[in-house]
Amino acid sequence: MNDRMTVAVYGATGHTGSFVVAELKRRGFGVVRIGRDAARLRQSSAGDSTPWRVAGIDDPEQLDAALRGTHAVINCAGPFLDTALPVVDAALRARIPYLDVTAEQPALQALIEQRDTSARAAGVTLIPAAAFYGGLADLLVTAAADEDKLIERVDIAIGLDSWHPTRGTRLTGERNRAIRLIQEEGRLVPVPQPAPEGVWSFQLPFGNMDVVMLPFTEVLTVSRHLRIDTVESWFALSALRDIRDPNTPAPQPHDEQGRSAQQFVVDVVIEQSGTTRRVTATGRDIYAVSAPIVVEATERLLSGKVAPGGGVVSLGEIFDARDFLAALDTVTVSYSAVSSPMLTRRGEHEQQ
């Protein structure tokens, strides 16, 4: 199947895009590398025979030409507030699936509000946030929960031992000034200000880490297809300080795959029907790990392992979450019962 299928990667010369291209080629897919800068595409072609095409985000004809002959498109070019809708529109015109790796809540909201209906009518599947942020937590929640029953509460905590941001991450941070959302009593609401802080008890080697309420796309992905009363998301303060520091350098390769030495943990705690469950994912390099996640989703879509449909969906909604997670050899997942609270809040938000 793979050698007959070709996937377009928009933003192929970027940090995450390069990992995605490599993962597609490793799995035997044909690849068309697409970008906005011909010089960067040409430079990145050294030792890479895959074709490349130039397409500006504001040029529908170029986008249509770039996607011609492909079977799916993966958008890795942020800020997704600027790129998602134009690339989705090109995918709709081409009648091919669209996937991206956004961590931006407003970009995902825009797709839901402005393109879900047209994508359903066209039978085109759109999977935004199919990556470390958004997709991984969505899979973990879905894998641990009973999807047929109301979930009283979900807490998602992300621990990073460091965060060396890419140029794209910095540009997105400058562009994305929207108020972040959590879910309370079944409704999306703004994060309280000042954002609550606390200490989360991660497993070793992370241990207890200072965290702040800082949701990414995971709140939107899980709340869209699961009945959940409350979803809150927590993030390591030390990693947040890294990306806020303009002197923090970009990630540097530490192995033959080009991954950095960064370690991550994603903890999900679910309260449902009087029981509390915990599921934990650990791995290395949040940018690199997004590649097998989004490519696994692409492969499953193109192989016909899911029923045909359309519209904006999430990984946990459309795929068997436990099976998907088991297929990711770059992520280690464990399931356990919870014997004590993972989060201790601070100050006026402290839980007794």
For the stretch 290-318, pLDDT in tens is: 999 999 999 999 998 787 689 999 999 99
Q: What fold characterizes domain 135-286+324-349?
A: Dihydrodipicolinate Reductase; domain 2 (3.30.360)
Domain ranges in the chain are 2-132+289-320, 135-286+324-349
In this prediction, residues 242-249 reach a mean pLDDT of 95
Rounded Cα distance, 107 and 87, in Å: 12
State residue 3's pLDDT score: 55
Tell me the pLDDT tens digit for each residue of 247-296. Answer: 999 999 999 999 999 999 999 999 999 999 999 999 999 999 999 999 99
Residue 337's pLDDT band, with cuts at 50, 70 and 90, is: confident
**Protein fold of 2-132+289-320:** Rossmann fold (3.40.50)
pTM of the full structure: 0.95
Q: Which residues are CB-neighbours of 323 under 8 A, at least 6 positions away?
A: none
State the burial class of residue 235 (Cβ atoms within 10 Å of its Cβ: 0-12, 13-18, 19+): buried
pLDDT-derived band at 348 (thresholds 50, 70, 90) equals very low
Per-residue confidence (pLDDT) for residue 352, from 0 to 100 = 33
